[in-house]
Structure 1
Amino acid sequence: MTQLVEHRSPKAARILDSARASVLDHGIRKLTVAEVAKAAGVGKGTVYLYWTSKEDLLLGLFAREAMSLLDMVIEHLTADPSAVAPRRLAPLLLRTGRKGAMANRLTAADWELLRQLIQQSGAKDLFVATLPRALCEAVMPILERHGLLKEGQSLADQSYTMHALLTGFGAAMSAPDAAPRGDTDPDEILALAAASLLEPAVAPADSALATAAAEVTRVMDRTREAFVDLIGRTEVSGA
C-alpha cells in the first residue's frame, strides 16, 4: 500500500495542515505558497521539495479530503453491513458528505478554479465518481441484484429516486433557514422517505445485506485507490 508523504515527513504534514487551514479560512483563490510555508514554519522552498506548484498542492489536498470521506463510508459499511439498506445508506452518504469541510467552504469562484485544476489534471472522472449521480449509478445495481430494492420499478427510476433524495435533502440541509422547520431530525425523515420509496416490503436477509455491503465497499475502495494514485502524481517524485 502506498504511504502518503505526510506519514513519512512531519514537514509535509505541517504544510498540508497549513494549506487546509488556509482554504477553510479564505478559500483557494487567495492561497499562496508563501503563506502556507510561513504558517507551517518552513521556508517557501521546502514546499517545492514536495509539490512543484500551488496547483498540485491544492489538487492533492482535495484528493485527500475525497479519500477521507470514502474511508468513512467504507469503514462504516464494513463494521455494519446493514447500513447498506437505502434507509440507512442515504443518510450515511449525506452525513459523510457534510464532513467535507473544505468543499463545503468554497465559493462559486473557488469551485470554478477547482474545476479547472481537476480538468487540467485529467482527474475529472475520478472526482465525478464521488458525486451523487455516479454513486447512484454504481451502487443501485448492487442493491437491486441482492434484493434490497422493491420490485415493480425500473432500476433507472429507483436510481433517479435515490439521486433526488440525496440532492434534495442535501440542498435543504445545507440551507436549513430556507427550509420549513420539521419536528423530526432530517436524517430520520430521509431514512423514512428512502424506506418508503425504495425498500421491499419484506426485509432482506442478513446474508444479502452483507454481500451487498461488501460489493459496495469494493467499488468505493477502487475509487479510493485511484485517489491515492492521484495524490502520488501531484507530489515530487521521491519526496
Structure 2
Amino acid sequence: MAEPTRHDPAKAARILKVTRDSLLRRGVRGLSVADIARAAQIGKGTLYLYWRTKEELVAEVVARDFLDATGEYLAGIEADADAARPHRLCWALFRSTLEHPFVRAVQVADVHTIGLLTEHEETRRLLDLLGPGVLSRDLLELWREHGMARRDWALDHQAYALRALLAGFFTLVTGTSTEPIADLKPVFEATVRALLDPPDAPSGAVSYSGSDSGSTEAAAVAALRLLGEQRDTLRAMLAPVEI
C-alpha cells in the first residue's frame, strides 16, 4: 500500500500496532503522527520513511483487518465445503465483520473510528476489491452458477436485495434502539435462505435439490479461488510486515 522502502520490518510492525491500538481507543480524530511516533519509540520523521501520510498508515491498518477477515472465510471453506453455501457464508461474512472493528467501521460508516477515510484513494481501492457490494455480487454469481441460488430474477435486482438484507441486519445489530435477539444465527440464515434458495429447495434441507455433493465441492473450489484471488491482490497492496 505504501511505496517507501521498509528499512526495519519490526519497526514497521510496531508502528502498525500502535496505530491500531490508538484508533480503537480514540478514533482517527484523536490520532496524530507525533503520538504514534512517541508510542512506537521512533522519531516523527522516521514514520514518514514507512508511510507518507497518516491517512495512508490508517488505510493500511484497515486493509489488514479486511485481510484477517478474508482469511477466516477461506479457512472455514477449506475445513468444510458446505460452508460455501449462501446462508452459511453470508453468516460468516456478517459475523466476521462484526468481530473486526475496522471492517465494521467501513461497513457502518463509523466517522469516529475512520473519519472520512473512505474518501482516501487506498481505501477506495480496498472497497473496490472487498467491499460488501462487490463480494455480494461476485458470490451471488458463483452461487447461481452452481445451483445454490435462484435464477428466476435479474442478477442486479437479486444482488441489491442481498446487500439490503445484510445492511438491514447490520443496522439492527449495531443500533441502540432495537432489542437484541437471543439467537441471531438461525434467524439470519433462514432469512438468507428465504431470499436466495432455489424454488425447489426443501425447507431446512442440508442439500439443495439439484445441488449434490459434487456441485457443493465445485462451488467451494470456486469460492476459494475467488476469495483467494482477492486476498492475494490485497496482500500485494500491503507492506510485507507481520503484526
- TM-score of the alignment, normalized to the shorter chain, above 0.5: yes
Relative distance call for 1:141 and 1:37 in structure 2 (3 A) is same
Instruction: Tell me the equivalent position of 2:31.
Output: 31
Asked if residue 75 in structure 1 is aligned to residue 78 in structure 2, the reply is no
Give the structure with the higher percent helix. 1
Aligned with 2:193 (options 187, 192, 195): 195
Aligned residues: 224
In structure 2, distance between residues paired with 1:45 and 1:160: 46
Instruction: Tell me the equivalent position of 1:179.
Output: 178
In structure 2, distance between residues paired with 1:124 and 1:179: 31
Relative distance call for 1:197 and 1:56 in structure 2 (3 A) is closer
Aligned with 2:236 (options 218, 225, 229): 229
Whether contact under 8 Å (1:20, 1:102) holds in the other structure is no
One-letter amino acid of the counterpart of residue 177, structure 2: A
SS of the equivalent of 2:148 reads coil
Instruction: Tell me the equivalent position of 2:133.
Output: 133
Whether contact under 8 Å (1:29, 1:113) holds in the other structure is no
Q: Report how far residue 48 of structure 1 moved.
A: 2.6
Q: Report how far residue 108 of structure 1 moved.
A: 2.6
Q: Report how far residue 180 of structure 1 moved.
A: 4.1
In structure 2, distance between residues paired with 1:115 and 1:190: 28
Instruction: Tell me the equivalent position of 2:99.
Output: 99
In structure 2, distance between residues paired with 1:35 and 1:112: 18
Q: Report how far residue 94 of structure 1 moved.
A: 0.2
One-letter amino acid of the counterpart of residue 214, structure 2: S
Instruction: Tell me the equivalent position of 1:66.
Output: 66
Q: Report how far residue 232 of structure 1 moved.
A: 4.0
Structure 1 runs, 4 residues or longer, greater than 4 Å off = 109-112
Q: Report how far residue 207 of structure 1 moved.
A: 1.9
In structure 2, distance between residues paired with 1:62 and 1:157: 30
Q: Report how far residue 140 of structure 1 moved.
A: 0.7
Listed as ranges, the gaps of 5+ residues in structure 2 are 203-207
Instruction: Tell me the equivalent position of 2:17.
Output: 17
Whether contact under 8 Å (1:172, 1:179) holds in the other structure is yes
Whether contact under 8 Å (1:23, 1:31) holds in the other structure is yes
Whether contact under 8 Å (1:126, 1:223) holds in the other structure is no
Q: Report how far residue 135 of structure 1 moved.
A: 1.3
Whether contact under 8 Å (1:90, 1:162) holds in the other structure is no
Instruction: Tell me the equivalent position of 2:205.
Output: none
Deviations 1:166-200 (A, max 9, x none): 1111111112x422444x41121011111223223
Instruction: Tell me the equivalent position of 2:55.
Output: 55
